[in-house]
C-alpha cells in the first residue's frame, strides 16, 4: 500500500468488484473501460471479481484509490503496455467528477506515472477521454498531458456518435528511458 498525504493506493483485489462495478453503470461509458474496439464492456460483479482475482492480469498494474477514511474513490493503473515502443495506456477513473479537482487525484496520477516511468521504464503514457468527460480531461491537461488528436465518431451510444480524444504524457526531460534502446 502506498500512503499519500490524501490517499491510500493499493493493489485492487476481488473484494473491490462491487466498487469497480459502479463504473460500469454510468449513463455514458467510461473511456477507460472501453475495449479495443471502443465498445463498452458489460461485466457483472462476479465477472469482475474473477478478473480481479487473476493475479497475472491485475496484480501490480491495477490499483484502488481510497481516501483517508478508507472509502474507494476510484481506480488507476496501466494497460496495453508495449515494451518495444515503451508506452502504456493509463486507466484512471474516479466515481465522482468533483474528485478530479482534489489532491487525492493528483497523488493517484503521480503514483500511476511512477508505475509507468520508473517500474515499467516506459517513455510515454497515453490516456483517452470522451467529450463528456470534461473533468477528467481538465485534470489530465493540468497534470501535463498533451492532446495527440481526436478520433471522430468512434463510439455509438445513447443514439448518437461520440468522439474520443487521445492524450499523451512524457517523462521529464533528461529521464533515461527511451523507446527502442
Shortest distance, CB of residue 88 to other proteins, whole angstroms?
12
How many chain residues bind other proteins (CB under 8 A)? Answer: 28
Question: Residue from 1, 98, 173, 181 that binds other proteins (CB under 8 A)?
Answer: 181
Shortest separation between residue 100's beta carbon and other proteins, angstroms: 24
Q: Is 144 in the site for other proteins (CB under 8 A)?
A: no
Report residue 85: phi and psi, to 5°. Answer: -90, 0
Residue number with CB closer to other proteins (101 or 154): 154
The answer to whether 132 and 165 are in contact (CB under 8 A) is no
- Between CA 113 and CA 167 the distance in angstroms is 14
**What does the per-residue mask of binding to other proteins show for 104-143, with x meaning CB under 8 A?**
-------------------xx-x-----------------
- Asked whether position 149 contacts other proteins by CB under 8 A, the answer is yes
Instruction: State which of residues 152, 159, 160, 173 lies at the interface with other proteins (CB under 8 A).
Output: 152
26 binds other proteins (CB under 8 A): no
Q: Is residue 118 within 8 Å of 98, Cβ to Cβ? A: no
The interface region with other proteins, picked from 12-20, 59-67, 108-116, 165-173 by CB under 8 A, is 165-173
Contacts of 5 (CB under 8 A, 6+ apart): 103, 107
Return residues touching other proteins (CB under 8 A).
Answer: 36-39, 84-87, 123-124, 126, 148-156, 161, 166, 168, 170, 178-181
Amino acid at each position: 500500500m502506498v500512503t499519500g498525504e490524501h490517499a491510500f493506493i493499493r493493489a485492487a483485489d476481488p473484494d473491490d468488484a462491487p466498487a469497480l462495478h459502479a463504473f460500469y453503470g454510468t449513463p455514458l461509458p467510461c473511456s477507460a473501460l472501453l475495449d479495443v474496439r471502443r465498445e463498452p464492456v458489460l461485466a457483472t460483479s462476479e465477472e469482475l471479481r474473477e478478473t480481479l482475482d487473476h493475479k497475472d492480469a491485475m496484480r501490480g498494474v491495477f490499483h484502488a484509490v481510497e481516501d483517508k477514511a478508507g472509502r474507494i474513490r476510484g481506480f488507476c493503473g496501466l494497460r496495453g503496455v508495449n515494451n518495444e515502443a515503451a508506452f502504456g495506456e493509463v486507466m484512471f477513473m474516479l466515481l465522482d467528477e468533483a474528485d478530479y479537482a482534489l489532491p487525492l487525484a493528483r497523488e493517484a496520477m503521480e503514483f500511476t506515472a511512477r508505475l509507468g516511468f520508473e517500474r515499467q521504464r516506459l517513455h510515454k503514457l497515453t490516456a483517452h477521454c470522451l467529450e463528456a468527460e470534461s473533468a477528467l480531461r481538465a485534470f489530465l491537461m493540468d497534470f501535463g498531458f498533451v492532446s495527440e488528436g481526436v478520433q471522430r465518431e468512434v463510439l455509438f451510444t445513447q443514439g448518437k456518435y461520440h468522439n474520443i480524444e487521445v492524450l499523451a504524457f512524457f517523462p521529464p526531460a533528461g529521464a533515461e528511458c527511451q523507446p527502442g534502446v
